[in-house]
Amino acid sequence: MTEADMFDLQDALNEGAIIAGILLFWGFFAALGLFIGDAAPRGSPLGSMGQGLAGLLLTAAVANVLLYIVFRAIEKAKA
């Protein structure tokens, strides 16, 4: 096993920070959607749109992280 094949803690921390940044980015907008949904009057279309938007953005966050992990794995496999 060469030194390049060994696990590098700094790389793992950098990857974790990037993933956390992605989740924070999408999480901010999802929280904004929840706020819109909660601030709207009961039964209004804006309230249900806010809740739906938050769910959509959280789904996008998870998909974005999964895609990032897959693409990084492919990139590392080619190297």
Q: Report d(CA 64, CA 15) in Å as an integer.
A: 14
pLDDT band, very low/low/confident/very high, at 5 (cuts 50, 70, 90): low
pTM of the shown model: 0.73
Mean per-residue pLDDT over the chain, rounded: 85
CA angle 12, 17, 21 (to 5 degrees): 150
Give the up-direction half-sphere exposure of residue 54: CA atoms within 13 A in the CB hemisphere: 15
User: Is the predicted pLDDT of residue 66 greater than 80, yes or no?
Assistant: yes
Domain boundary assignment for the chain = 12-78
Over residues 13-31, mean pLDDT? 91
- Would you put residue 78 in left (φ > 0), alpha (ψ -120 to 50) or beta? alpha
Spell out the residues 6+ positions from residue 55 whose beta carbon is closer than 8 angstroms to its own.
30
